[in-house]
Homo-oligomer: A and B are copies of this chain.
């Protein structure tokens, strides 16, 4: 009976080996993360999906505050003239802007773009509030949604409107701004690895792939289960380019006028897509415990037997008191349905207690990552649950790390890269001369884009994988979401 219900529930999603894209969409829908709206590419974050984002926000916001940042909120509309102040920036974003042209029944004198990102708005504000070296650094962050009018869309990975945070900082010196750029890249990397259990490659983007208007863009790249790459967070160093374009100056300690140096950095709800594609399996979502909205689901077994519901409720209260995000399902659904349901929703631990367990002063805990069942004495419930949550985190991380390492391959020629991508897929690790021509040729002939030049450079050869000329950088190539 349990077996059957279980099977029926699981049949609702496509196997990832059959059709990874369909599996992904199935999980987003069946785990109740997302719904479609009547506007293409604009999605509804349902309670379970939004709760994951709230946990991500909470953990990151704490990190931002610990590193001295303050939250602000700037308008969602950007006058076209303001967007145009930095040339590279507007060229990159104008094609994706949604434009407001009417206010009530009146045509606006100037059209306003819904923010695709807020560098220009922050610069306008910074001009008002930065005058002296005593006003620096300014370390601001904003949680908001942004709009990019893209043609194609996929839940979490490519929305026309998505939720994100954007840090925008101003510093007295280039050195301080560079430090900030790297500090925030590392905050992202630590968060991805230690909270989301997603191993990362930290590196610098090529000029072709960097942010519109930035001098340098740094990235954390993750490998998904299907061996494609997901750019999971970026941190940009702007130099004083925007500050010059917006005429932002401050009086230094030397009593001279200077332009401040700027950074910006952001992560978005696309990280949730990353979680799904890194940890998920054919039974559905698998959530890393540290951001799971429900870390442990308590399920009473043989509920009608005397004392079972009380025992389950007592267990629930103990878990909650210990700071575990726990819930109980005492609905009249079958055990099989419940098992399948919380597998689909990726709940890290399922905690069952029935008459037999009560006799033995124990409960039975089933891990979502491995399916393993362990009996835990109620005397050590809190410690063991915490250990199991950590163990699930570590298990997920190690599995993802193995996937990344197993499918990162040193290649010396374009043919090798082609062969690797055609048969196996993953990150091709090569040397590169640094020329755009070679980067374009790699895309054209092997279908790969440069992911990043890892910060940890190791020399895997002397010449460019593409043109054979002397190489400048070690670089990763891949197919990206």
Contacts and interface: CB of A to CB of B under 8 A. Distances in A.
Interface of A: 35, 37-39, 42-47, 50-51, 53-54, 70-77, 79, 82, 94-105, 111-112, 114, 121, 124-125, 128-129, 140, 144-145, 147, 149, 161, 163
28 contacts: A35-B128, A35-B129, A37-B75, A37-B124, A38-B79, A39-B77, A42-B75, A42-B77, A43-B75, A44-B72, A44-B73, A44-B75, A47-B71, A47-B72, A50-B72, A50-B73, A76-B76, A76-B114, A76-B145, A77-B161, A97-B102, A98-B100, A98-B103, A98-B112, A100-B100, A104-B149, A114-B114, A144-B145
Copies of this chain in its oligomeric complex: 2
Contacts of A145: 73, 76, 144
A60 to B, nearest CB: 14
Contact of A147 (B70, B76, B128): B76
A161 B114 CA distance: 12
Nearest to A140: B47
Given A77-B42, A129-B35, A99 B97 contact: no
A50 B65 CA distance: 14
Given A39-B79, A75-B161, A96-B104, 10 more contacts: A37-B125, A38-B79, A38-B124, A39-B112, A51-B70, A54-B71, A95-B104, A100-B100, A101-B101, A103-B149
A77 B44 CA distance: 12
8 shortest interchain CB distances as A-B pairs? A47-B70, A42-B75, A99-B102, A103-B149, A45-B73, A101-B101, A104-B149, A95-B104
Nearest to A81: B38
Nearest to A106: B149
Residue of A103, A105, A112 with most chain B CB atoms under a 10 A cut-off: A103
B125 A35 contact: yes
A137 to B, nearest CB: 13
Contacts of A53: 73
Contacts of A94: 104
A79 B128 CA distance: 36
Contact of A99 (B82, B101, B147): B101
Contacts of A114: 76, 100, 114
A459 to B, nearest CB: 43
Contacts of A128: 35
Contact of A161 (B45, B76, B102, B129): B76
Contacts of A99: 100-103
